[in-house]
Amino acid sequence: MSHKIERRDFVKGLFALPAFAILGSRAAGDVPSGRALVVLHLAGGNDGLNTVIPASDPAYKRLRPALALSSGELLPIDRGLALHGALAGFKKLYEGGQLAIVQGVGYPSPDFSHFRATEIWEAGDPNGGASGWIGRFLDETRERRGLRAVALSKEQPPLALASSSTPPVTIDDPEEFRPPATADRIRQMYAAYAREASSRQVVGEAGLETLAAAEKISTMRGASSVNYPAGELASDLKRTAELLASGIGVEVVHLSFGGFDTHVNQIGKHRQLLAQVGNAFAAFQQDLERRGISKRVAVLVFSEFGRRPAENFGGGTDHGSAGPVFVIADGVKGGLHGDHPSLSNLDNGNLVFTTDFRSVYAGLVRDCLKADPARVVRGATPLALF
């Protein structure tokens, strides 16, 4: 079943107003939870060992004689670990206490299919499923009105947003949400409803708020006082900052940035991808600070799996298991969380996870989205990141 809401469906919803009623009166960046959550999927399987590098472990260079980064390509952090040299933006956030690195994140019996592994992460369940972990959060807090979950994408919304109560919205071109020529007539109708002392009053108020939200989305132009770097990810984050500051009450924004399936010729490609990630998020955090909403936003960066510790014969790495997850925010408990996977104790040549991915989700649900994690991510002990 498709979860994407086309423009014609949105306009139709102006009349029907099912679950698509938007609170347009919130302060900029304010949501009924603690923080809005931005979720980025690094699609393809990011090589965690060349992202957060166990530089002091001699097994690293033994397993990767060609791919191991030299000391001049490393940005040292703590516990004998280093960030890839292209992640200068992340290093700045780390030093400022705004970046938490959760190590060795995975789940039992990892799957190495892109499709299946992505389904597992998006569902928030090692068995996969038809609903998403964010979707279940939306279901458990359905009393919160609003355009609550948005995917910036040309594709269908991700499984993570699949909900039984709140249809997610995919935004590619904001102008798709420009109200129709009949908007004035529709507005008059809803204004009349809103003045009535009857059940129509709620419909009228929600209709007016929906029109106002649609107009705000349609006029998004990526305005910012921050100079973002070039690239698709930076462009999406720029739009995300404006969306979060627009005052329409978005609680979750989902993004995807691909290209991380580095089976061959990994070194240059991976460096370029990580540079985009680090620099884009450094600009994004600065943008949030200038807009005065940085304490109301948190970011989660994950990939569907890591890569195998040993390099292959093509100058790359093959599908692996556990990898690092990043949380960026003002007020996050910055630094390293959990243990780095052992390079000596491997499972059939793969890393053994040390942190269950559900604990990361549960912690964010509890501390950022302000919902009961036991009802959203079952069987997980929340990781305290805030």
pLDDT tens per residue across all 386 residues of the chain: 334 434 444 444 444 443 334 333 343 344 455 899 999 999 999 999 999 999 999 999 999 999 999 999 999 999 999 999 999 999 999 999 999 999 999 999 999 999 999 999 999 999 999 999 999 999 999 888 777 899 998 888 899 999 988 777 788 766 666 666 666 777 787 788 778 877 777 666 666 666 666 666 666 665 678 999 999 999 999 999 999 998 888 999 999 999 999 999 999 999 999 999 999 999 999 999 999 999 999 999 999 999 999 999 999 999 999 999 999 999 999 999 999 999 999 999 999 999 999 999 999 999 999 999 999 998 899 999 99
Q: Please check whether residue 384 lies inside any domain of the structure.
A: no
Strands 36-42 and 252-257 come out as parallel
CA separation, residue 107 to residues 110, 120, 360 (Å):
6, 9, 12
Tens-digit pLDDT profile for residues 107-126: 999 999 999 999 999 999 99
Structural domain boundaries enclosing 158: 7-375
Q: Please check whether residue 386 lies inside any domain of the structure.
A: no
Q: Please check whether residue 95 lies inside any domain of the structure.
A: yes
Torsion angles phi and psi, residue 279, rounded to 5: -70, -35
Radius of gyration of the chain (CA): 22
CATH classification of the domain holding 96? 3.40.720.10
Q: Please check whether residue 2 lies inside any domain of the structure.
A: no
Structure tokens at 316: 């790359």
Tens-digit pLDDT profile for residues 164-218: 887 777 887 666 666 666 667 777 877 887 788 777 776 666 666 666 666 666 6
Neighbours of 170 (CB within 10 A): 20
CB 362 within 8 A of CB 137: no
Q: Please check whether residue 380 lies inside any domain of the structure.
A: no
Q: Please check whether residue 385 lies inside any domain of the structure.
A: no
Q: Please check whether residue 381 lies inside any domain of the structure.
A: no
Q: How far apart are CA 260 and CA 92, in angstroms?
A: 23
